Structure 1
Amino acid sequence: MTTHQTGVIAFQGELGAYSHEACRQARPGMKVMPCATFEEVIEAVRRGDADLAMLPVENSTYGRVADIHRLLPESGLHIHDELFVRVRIALMSMPGRKLEEIKLVRAHLVLLPQSARFLREHQIVGHAAADSAGAAADLARTQTPGEGVLASDLAAEIYGLEVLAHDIEDHAHNTTRFLVMGREPDLKRRGHGRMMTTFVFQVRNIPAALYKAMGGFATNGVNMTKLESYMVDGNFTATQFYADIEGHPDDTNVRLALDELRYFTTHMNLLGVYPADPGRNH
């Protein structure tokens, strides 16, 4: 999925972060706007400073991205596309350094265990950093001898570092799913392949409400690829559900399933209708 588009797309992190890589892959014609937090990304789009937001929602190794499901329904934004990005980890350092000189690397905490085998084989100690791309920027500034960074190839390109080893992650399947979101919904578009529909809902306070709400998807042959629950405002009695299904709301079976769902819910909020990324097939 690649759409050439002008304008600005916002992401969380420093230039060279994996979210920046996702922006370049999905919207190569757009300028990027790095933001410190997910909330700042969403606000930049709501204010009109950015046209789109690139937000990670889940990782194949670490599961759901913290807080993102809480933020999405309240954001007022709508999903335009999804994107699956392989997390490829590169070890980089100052130009001219050799791999055997590197004794310590800095990286975001989640990257270190993903590269544990490589680091152990080369007797390199890993130190956690707040941000991998930020660690690359710091190394480019300090030029500390014997030190490297684990980050994306894009980070090395941006900060003038030299990649000493590519694809050092222990498992080649590690993938992050991103959502491209904008201010306006786009519910009528049809992709060449499968369509996805994402929504959140709360069930009515009646016995077996969730079971009954889900029944409509089974009886109408709608494939639900994700169903997650989380508390609303820290309240144990208020549970909201986030769901991804295959299909378009205009499809007869999807329309019937959603009609049945509404009967058993206190509210339902459609977050987006968008083409399924080819990465779903892998």
Structure 2
Amino acid sequence: MTTVAYQGEPGSNSATVAQALFPRGRELPCTGFEQALDAVTLGDADVAVIPVDNSTAGRVADVHHLLPESGLFIVAEYFLAIRFDLMGVPGTSFEQVECVRSHVHALGQCRKVLREGGWRTLVSDDTAGAAREVAELGDPRHAALAPPAAARLYGLEVLRAEVEDDPDNTTRFVVLSRDPRVAPDGGEPTMTSLFFCVRNISSALYKALGGFASSGVNLTKIESYQMGAGLNPSRFYVEIEGHPDEPRVALALQELRFFSSEVRVLGTYPAHPHRLKGRAG
């Protein structure tokens, strides 16, 4: 049986993804992203399911700092349509609500209903955790923004369904493992995630990325972040379409390595159907 670690509580979006990908797996809820990754590193879990970015809120804070240092490999991706319901204890009316609890990202993705209600907000560690807190309080003045599964799990009543600002709101998750499980280069759409740090020379970033353009490799994501204080060079997280064994990708990576002080492939994995659907549209 596969043990799946994730940040959050049962009923959260991460739990939903874990159940979709590993329906017979054993769930291991964790208090934070670092704890979920550590569970895999230490052998307490086989894989970790981690959100990396959201179509509305952007990248998930801290995750890209943790991925390169974890020593784990990305082996799959999953896109989840995000739905948030406003929920309270049974018998609560919309007008009784005075305070809404949720994760900071969920509050940021449901601004319209929060403005309409004029409520104060409280940040919880997790969306499902916010639902549990409201259930434990038993106070009709408190409500939670959480996935629909949380209302069923904690016995809450949905006051208003699907209150997310963007109906196309989507979060991308990745699955991490100690085993790289590199996807075979069989002609199927493949993604490769990597991390690099450029050498301290003039135009290094321009030259490092030039190989992708000249080789016709599509860069779907590039993000920079600073490690530590001072004038340390920026690090970059990149995702590309293609497999490292493809000649054009191999050439691009060769040029990247020439102008970089460090290059680390974090994983090669099948492209999720949502990505292909978006391209077709």
Task: Please say whether Structure 1 and Structure 2 have the same fold, judged by a TM-score greater than 0.5.
Answer: yes
Deviates more, 1:19-28 or 1:271-280: 19-28
1:279 matches 2:274: yes
SS in 2 for 1:232: coil
Q: Tell me what 1:239 maps to.
A: 234
Structure 2 unaligned residues grouped into runs of 5+: none
Is 2:181 aligned against 1:186?
Answer: yes
SS of aligned partner of 1:43: helix
Q: How many angstroms does 1:199 deviate by?
A: 0.7
Q: Does residue 56 in structure 1 map to residue 13 in structure 2?
A: no
In structure 1, C-alpha distance between the alignment counterparts of 2:88 and 2:24, rounded to whole Å? 29
C-alpha change, 1:247 and 1:149, in structure 2 (3 Å) is same
Q: For 1:76 and 1:221, how far apart are their aligned partners in 2?
A: 29
The amino acid across from 2:38 in the alignment is E
Query: Does structure 1 residue 148 correspond to structure 2 residue 139?
Result: no
- 1:73 and 2:68 equivalent? yes
Residue 275 and residue 104 in structure 1: after superposition, are their counterparts in 2 closer, same or farther (change >3 A)? same
Deviation track 1:75-126 (CA, whole Å, cap 9, x = no partner) reads: 01000111111221111122343444444322223323432333444x3514
Aligned partners of 2:120, 2:187: CA distance in 1, in Å?
Answer: 44
Q: Which residue of 2 aligns with 1:225?
A: 220
Unaligned runs of 5+ in 1: 1-5
Letter in 2 for 1:244: E
Structure 1 residue 264: Cα displacement: 1.3
Partners of 2:159 and 2:111 lie apart in 1 by 16
Which amino acid in structure 1 is aligned with residue 133 of structure 2?
A: D
Q: Distance in 2 between matches of 1:15 and 1:30?
A: 13
> Alpha-carbon deviation of 1:162?
2.2
State the Cα deviation string for residues 147-189 of structure 1 (Å, max 9, x = none): 3211001211221222232211121122211110000101243
Question: Are the structure 2 counterparts of residues 57 and 113 from structure 1 closer, same or farther at C-alpha, using a change threshold of 3 Å?
Answer: closer
Contact 2:183–2:270 under 8 Å retained in 1: no
Q: Distance in 2 between matches of 1:147 and 1:191?
A: 53
Q: Confirm or deny that 1:111 pairs with 2:90.
A: no
Matched, 1:159 2:154: yes
Q: 83, 87, 101: which is aligned to 1:88?
A: 83
Matched, 1:254 2:249: yes
Aligned length: 276
Identity of aligned residues (%): 46
- With normalisation by structure 2, the TM-score equals 0.91
More displaced stretch, 127-136 vs 221-230: 127-136
Q: CA deviation at 1:232?
A: 2.2
Query: What SS does the corresponding residue of 1:237 show, helix, strand or coil?
Result: coil
Question: Contact conserved, 2:185 with 2:246, CA < 8 A, in 1?
Answer: no
User: Does residue 1:129 correspond to 2:123, yes or no?
Assistant: yes
Are the equivalent residues in 2 in contact too, given 1:78–1:183 (CA < 8 A)?
yes
TM-score, length-normalised on structure 1?
A: 0.91
| 1:9-61 per-position Cα deviation (integer Å, ceiling 9, x unaligned) | 11112222221122122222211111111111111001111100011111112
**3-state SS of paired residue (2:232):** strand
